[in-house]
Amino acid sequence: MKLTELFAKDTFNMSFEVFPNKKPENLESVKAKVLQIAELEPAFMSVTYGAGGGTSQFTLEIAKNIKQRGDVPVLAHLTAVSSTKKPSLPVLQS
């Protein structure tokens, strides 16, 4: 389901936003925690890209983990700070 369809419904929707840790050694811990959050069955989860791109290298990996293993719709919360028009992340396919 597209998020626009979800928002068009007259229902309560719970979502969570994940802020990737800046330390690579914490990536596996974050991925495990988001799967625990996914068990709460939110309508969707977003993963922030990080203002200034500080955590951007982990955004796609965490989003893929949520989509593939958590079975929850996911989106990348992109920030425009210090970004260019050139896309840097591939699109996740449904």
**Could you list the active site residues?**
17
Give me the residues paired with residue 74 across strands: 45
Mark 7-28 as b/e (b = at least 16 C-beta within 10 Å): eeeeeeeeebebebeeeeeebe
